[in-house]
Each structure stands twice: as structure tokens, then as C-alpha cells.
Amino acid sequence: MGYYDIDDILADSVEIPCKFQHDIPGLGYLENNPGKPVKKNAKLELPLWLARILAIIDGDTNEGELNQDEESVPFVELLTPDMFSPKVINAIKADPTSLDLHAINSYFYALALKWISLFSDREFADIVTTLLLERSQAINNHASSVSVEFKSSLDSVRGTQVTAGASNAAASMFLLTLDEFEKKVYKKSHESYKETKKWMFEK
């Protein structure tokens, strides 16, 4: 997760439901009504890059001396987003391979990683690990099934047409459920299988 990693930046902009734990004047533009304060217990959707910081930093800037008991309460509380709800977790436990991760969130793994490191959630980490392992077997199956069309690639134009139509329906259905990280894995492994086969059977 580098600083200039474009997928990381995109994953960081996914919005997370948050609950404000302080009245804060001037921040109304987060609720789309600038000029007004944000009320306590207001529920907002904040992008992760903002929510992550606000959930850590304490909200006692000025009134810290007034109410000591509120001292350690951060600005916002992170609420569990839909993609990590019990419903999804049960679905993961039931059958990882038939799950449509892309529909849940296209950056599921990146977000799960961030979420786990925020809360040190061991149980969820185990679930995500099994999810990844199970799905990577399916990914490998799909990546290794290289269609054998390029024997007739003397006429390259026809060859590309054939390969384009070759990926069968079952594979493409699965590929639509991959999240961005899995897509990268699939693409890379598929390329390497394909190149190896090309090298073996073509000159």
C-alpha cells in the first residue's frame, strides 16, 4: 500500500457511516448544508481517509477542561458498514466462491485490511483469510484454463476473434464477481499461464 498506489487511493475514498460524538460548528458542509454546525449523534457517510483520522483523534480541543469524562472520546464513532455486516459475513462463511464480492464492494480486501488494522479484529481476519484462500483456488482454476486457439494464429486476425469469443459463460460469470484485487491476481496469473503455453507450443 504505497503512497502513490492508485487502487489504495480509490479504496480510501469509499464512504463509511459515522456518528459524530460532539457538536462541531462550521463543519456543516459534510452534511451538505454549509454554515451550520454538525450536531451530536448526527449520522454521516465519510470517506475512509477522513473517518479513519477522526475516529482516532480526541475531540477535546477547547472544552477538554470542562468535561473531563469526555476527554478520550474521539470526534466520530465508526459504525459497521454494510459490507462488513453480519449478513455478508454469514454469506462468506456459507460459500466463498459463489459470493459476488464486486457487488458488495469493489475494494473489499483493501478495505477489510484497513478495517482489521483499525480494530485488530482477529475473528474477522480469519474469515477474510479463508475467503481469500477459497476464492484463490477458483481464480487459479479459471486462470489456468487457457483456450487452445492460437495454434491457428497464422492468420492472426481470425485468431484474435476466436479467442475473444472463447471465454465461456461460466468463467465470465465468475469473473464479474471478482473484486479489484482479485482481478489483478487473475490477470497476472492468466497472463503467465498463457505466455507459458504460448512458449511451449509455438515457436
Partner 1 sequence: MDINIDDILAELDRDTTAVDSTGHTQQGNQSSLSTSDIPANNTTIIDVSPQQDFKQLMVHWRNERCSPELLSYPAPLVERMLSRIQSQMETIENISMGFLESMSQGPSDDNGDKLTSHHNDSKLPLLCMEAELERVKFILRSYIRCRLQKVDKFSLYLRQFDPIQLDDLLSAKEKLYQSRHSEILLKLLNGSVLKFMPEELQAIDDTEGSVNMIEEPDWNKFVFIMVCGPPDKLFSEDPLLSKNEYGKYCYNVTIAELKEDVELTLDSIYVMRYQVVRELIMSGKVQLI
Contact yes or no for 73/21 (Cβ under 8 A) = yes
Site map (CB under 8 A) of partner 1, residues 70-109, x = contact? ----------------------------------------
Nearer to partner 1, 8 or 149 (CB): 8
Round to whole Å and give the CA distance between 8 and 40: 31
Beta bridge partners of 19: 43, 77
Cα dihedral value 72, 83, 86, 50, nearest 10: 0
For residue 83, the one-letter residue type is: M
Q: How far apart are CA 176 and CA 172, in angstroms?
A: 6
Shortest CB 112 distance to partner 1, Å: 18
Does 199 participate in binding partner 1 (rule CB under 8 A)? no
- Could you say whether residue 52 binds partner 1 (CB under 8 A)? yes
Q: At closest approach, how far in Å is the CB of 186 from partner 1?
A: 18
Please pick, from the candidates 2, 25, 35, 86, the single residue that binds partner 1 as defined by CB under 8 A: 2
Q: Is 4 in the site for partner 1 (CB under 8 A)?
A: yes
Piece of 1-9, 93-101, 131-139, 162-170 that binds partner 1 (CB under 8 A)? 1-9
Indicate which single residue of 17, 28, 30, 49 sits in contact with partner 1 (rule: CB under 8 A): 49
Q: Interface with partner 1 includes 120 (CB under 8 A)?
A: no
Q: Which is nearer to partner 1, 107 or 174 (CB)?
A: 107
Identify which of residues 49 and 119 has a Cβ nearer to partner 1 in the complex: 49
